[in-house]
A and B are shown apart, each in its own frame.
Chain A
Amino acid sequence: MAEQTATLAPSRGSLPAREAATERRRRRLVPRDRGALLGLLPLVLFLALAFVVPVVFAGNPTAQDLTGRLRPPVGVGGSWDHPFGTDGLGRDLLARVAAGARASLLVSIVAATGAAVVGVAAGLLAGIRGGAADRVITMLVETLLAVPFITFGIVVTATVGQSVTNVLLLLVLSGWITHARIVRLQVQSLMRSEFVEAAYALGAGRSHIARVHLLPNLAPIIIVVLCQQAGAMMLWSASLTYLGIGLPIERITLGGIVRDGQELIYTAWWVSVLGGLTIALAVVGFNLFADWLQRRLDPMLRT
């Protein structure tokens, strides 16, 4: 999808006229995109779970009740005291899922943003400078691409230990390569466009061209990739935590909830299933959101 993004030459119309055009386009788009908007539902549900639920149900995600463990959710024999039931240590699962959703969301957004910053910088550098810089960055990207993520994760956590910072670093290290590859290719084609050549001819420096001419053109694709990665990173961090090499145990995370419930899957399915469904909701939500964004931002798809 990334490579299809075409160049957006800066329009030279007057400012009010441009705004009016955008507004017209927006009005036209919204009704046509109603189906796509429906696709945003999972993300909305996920965000509601993360931010609205804790306000409505004031459960404590860490309070244990060893005599009230493994209570089922509402509807399958449980009560509204614990709408999602309780886990193996009698902790309120709804509160844990909500807390886990917030933590996982924070990790994935911070990591995805970090990956975007590093990846875009590397892609710009490789694309604009070319030569040795390009070769080094491309080689680095290809090397990292060859290492499976989980293997990489095991090596990193085995050597530097488990912490939030390490998981973030790991996610950024794995995520930046996508941005770098896409941005590099885009920049290479943009560098040959007339407006960049014109800017060069007028004496603009590389950093000026990058800021004024390249980044605005790259913004849509960067945002789309960032959103896709936010979903992917949620899955990656959950996988790491599930395998016991991600976030430390005492952090409440969705991957951790799935792991906690796995041994209980026959007796208390709800722990893993509700934790897992929440991850699915977030990943599907981010992907559909990225799709929708792409349709809105990509001129090739806008007819």
Chain B
Amino acid sequence: MPDELEQAMGRRAFVGALALTVAGQRLASAQATPARPEVQPELVIDLDGPPDNLDPALTYSVRDWSILHSVYDALLHFGEDGTLVPLIAEEFSTEDSKVFHVKLREGLVFHDGSPVTSAAITRSVDHLKASESQIADLFGGITEVREIDELTAEIVTGEPSAWLPSQIAVWLVVFPESATPDSLATSPVGTGPYRFEAMDPGNSITLVRNEDYTWGSPKGAALAERVTFRFVPEAATRVADLTTDAAQLIVSLPFDQTTAVEDAGKTVLTEPILGMAFIRIATDTAPFDDRRVRQALNYSVDVQAIADALVGPNTRRLASVFPDPRGLGFDETLEPFPYDPDKARQLLAEADLADGFDSTIQLVAGSRTDIVEAAVAQLAEAGIRLTIETAELAAFNQAWPDDSAPPLRYATWRPMYDPHTFLSLVIDSAGFLSRHDNPKADDLIRAAAIEPDQAARAELYHELGRLLKDEPAAIYLWNLTSSYGISPDLTSWHPRGDEYVVPVATSGGDA
């Protein structure tokens, strides 16, 4: 939620404002959906790899979510300015952040023809809670789903959970009664703008337009009759696909190759997204349990130089774990660490590590090795000698809480509209992915989690930001920017702040 909105409305009014009414929503959808563009017969999108999972409870990456939100709809949806908009819910409101009232739209049907009723909400919540998902705990806070009638329900949480709507927008998608664990993983059926057609594991997924998706969804209308998501890990191959018209949209365009794309007459779109890049520091092992060492790590890396050379111009540096003004907790008064190797050496000397030390850093195989190598070379100058280890994505994700894994890891995190997911999983000492132990941070995170008022939550997060600057949980790098190469005639597709590539026509915030 943007701060100015919170300030403009009193606490009570703001909480009530989650109740976005039919009229308000119609306005939103009218803005979001421009005059219906020509539906192309065929669209090919190159993603940078295959999704790990299609089961809604087990989706953790942009690749997964791009497919997920093309086929499914969640109750809520992030609009282009980062605000939450009801999607298949017609109304979504709460007074105390404990009972969330949901009224579903009338007449919605799943791709299999069955109607969308409030039982679908219960089904999805049960699935999320029962799954072996990293986010099962988040939805575990839901104690009950009361089905009031066919289209109305109440989602009840044990404690105030003002962060829940943001999680719902990512994970709480609805699926029909006929869905089985197997079908969720291999042939998803939802209500979204596209029907799932076929999957060629490791290579591609084909979707076809859902002809019933005509209710003015704020998500936008399908761009093409048939969409093929291809999985192309090599950036150079994606660029070649685009320049030879084998693909009309490619993701993760490296900054070095923007010229090649523009020279071929294609368009480059660059969009700051609500996510961040950082090197997580485990505090459960020496010498990283000493905050001076963690500060020294931050002073040793010339983040600006690396960003300018390897990420692109206009990269915004991080001061702590709140990357973007569109997300809760961002504090523009907090300054990032300056590059100061002398200060780093001094801090290390104070921590009795004047000769430096050896450790290891892990990253996903095939991800930004160059960034890690650049940082490692700078850390070496301060005496911090790191060995680089790579791991496959699945192994990397498994190793988040593993105290035998390398204490440092280069990672990115998105979306960060509401920081609760990240904080409760990675920073809170009890988090499912955590190797961080700071009781003061735990207190703030837990207080913010049950604080119903967003303005008060923002203030708690500001305090947490200052704490995590002083006692770093990571080497803070930069907010993420997403770069796409697109075919120039694809004018009605726009990048999203959460980075999902859903092939729908939107206004791009111009309306």
Q: Which residues of A line the B interface, CB within 8 A?
A: 62, 64, 66-67, 69-70, 88-90, 158, 161-162, 244-245, 248-250, 260, 262-268
Q: Which of B295-311 contact A (CB under 8 A)?
A: 302, 305-306, 308-310
In the complex, are the beta carbons of A249 and B309 less than 8 A apart?
Answer: no
In the complex, are the beta carbons of B256 and A264 less than 8 A apart?
Answer: yes
Further 16 A-B residue pairs, CB within 8 A, beyond A67-B305, A268-B256: A64-B374, A64-B377, A66-B302, A66-B309, A67-B309, A70-B256, A88-B310, A88-B370, A158-B395, A161-B389, A162-B390, A262-B234, A264-B236, A265-B236, A266-B239, A267-B257
Which of B309, B388, B392 interacts with A250 by CB under 8 Å? Answer: B388
- Also in contact, A263 and B259, with CB within 8 A (given A66-B374, A161-B389, A249-B388): no
- Also in contact, A66 and B308, with CB within 8 A (given A249-B369, A265-B236): yes
In the complex, are the beta carbons of A262 and B236 less than 8 A apart?
Answer: yes
In the complex, are the beta carbons of B236 and A263 less than 8 A apart?
Answer: yes
Closest residue of chain A to B309, judged by CB? A66
In the complex, are the beta carbons of A244 and B389 less than 8 A apart?
Answer: no
In the complex, are the beta carbons of A249 and B390 less than 8 A apart?
Answer: yes
Instruction: Tell me the bound Cα distance from A162 to B239 in angstroms.
Output: 31
Quote the shortest CB–CB distance from A245 to chain B (angstroms): 8
Q: Which residues of A contact B392 (CB under 8 A)?
A: 158
Quote the shortest CB–CB distance from A252 to chain B (angstroms): 11
- One digit per residue, 1 when the CB lies within 8 angstroms of any chain A CB and 0 when it does not, for chain B 371-407 equals 0111011000000000111101001000000000000
Q: Which residues of B line the A interface, CB within 8 A?
A: 234-236, 239, 254, 256-257, 259-260, 302, 305-306, 308-310, 365-366, 369-370, 372-374, 376-377, 387-390, 392, 395
Q: Which residues of A contact B310 (CB under 8 A)?
A: 66, 88-89
Closest residue of chain A to B377, judged by CB? A64
Quote the shortest CB–CB distance from B302 to chain A (angstroms): 8
Instruction: Tell me the bound Cα distance from A137 to B239 in angstroms.
Output: 49
* 20 residue pairs from A and B, CB less than 8 Å apart: A66-B302, A66-B305, A66-B306, A66-B308, A70-B256, A89-B309, A158-B395, A161-B389, A162-B389, A244-B366, A244-B390, A249-B373, A260-B369, A260-B370, A263-B235, A263-B236, A264-B236, A266-B239, A267-B256, A267-B260
Residue in A69, A245, A267 whose Cβ sees the most chain B Cβ within 10 Å:
A267
In the complex, are the beta carbons of B373 and A89 less than 8 A apart?
Answer: yes
Instruction: Tell me the bound Cα distance from A265 to B240 in angstroms.
Output: 11
Q: Which residues of A contact B390 (CB under 8 A)?
A: 162, 244, 249
Instruction: Tell me the bound Cα distance from A83 to B309 in angstroms.
Output: 22
Chain A contact residues, majority secondary structure: loop
Closest residue of chain A to B360, judged by CB? A248
Q: Which residues of A contact B236 (CB under 8 A)?
A: 262-266
Q: Which residues of A contact B370 (CB under 8 A)?
A: 88-89, 260
Residue in A162, A249, A260 whose Cβ sees the most chain B Cβ within 10 Å:
A249
Instruction: Tell me the bound Cα distance from A88 to B388 in angstroms.
Output: 18
- Also in contact, A69 and B234, with CB within 8 A (given A64-B374, A162-B390): no
Q: Which residues of B contact A66 (CB under 8 A)?
A: 302, 305-306, 308-310, 374
Instruction: Tell me the bound Cα distance from A84 to B392 in angstroms.
Output: 32
Q: Which residues of B contact A250 (CB under 8 A)?
A: 373, 376, 387-388
Q: Which residues of A contact B309 (CB under 8 A)?
A: 66-67, 69, 89-90
Instruction: Tell me the bound Cα distance from A249 to B309 in angstroms.
Output: 20
Closest residue of chain B to A250, judged by CB? B388
Instruction: Tell me the bound Cα distance from A262 to B372 in angstroms.
Output: 17
Instruction: Tell me the bound Cα distance from A249 to B363 in angstroms.
Output: 11
Residue in B257, B365, B369 whose Cβ sees the most chain A Cβ within 10 Å:
B369
Q: Which residues of B contact A267 (CB under 8 A)?
A: 256-257, 259-260
Q: Which residues of B contact A245 (CB under 8 A)?
A: 365
Quote the shortest CB–CB distance from B210 to chain A (angstroms): 36
In the complex, are the beta carbons of B387 and A266 less than 8 A apart?
Answer: no
Instruction: Tell me the bound Cα distance from A65 to B390 in angstroms.
Output: 24
Instruction: Tell me the bound Cα distance from A89 to B308 in angstroms.
Output: 12
Instruction: Tell me the bound Cα distance from A18 to B395 in angstroms.
Output: 63
Instruction: Tell me the bound Cα distance from A289 to B259 in angstroms.
Output: 44
Closest residue of chain B to A65, judged by CB? B309
Q: Which residues of B contact A90 (CB under 8 A)?
A: 309
Closest residue of chain B to A245, judged by CB? B365
Q: Which residues of A contact B377 (CB under 8 A)?
A: 62, 64, 89
Quote the shortest CB–CB distance from B339 to chain A (angstroms): 12
Instruction: Tell me the bound Cα distance from A191 to B93 in angstroms.
Output: 90
In the complex, are the beta carbons of B389 and A248 less than 8 A apart?
Answer: yes
7 closest A-B pairs (Cβ-Cβ)?
A: A66-B309, A249-B388, A244-B365, A266-B260, A64-B377, A265-B236, A66-B305
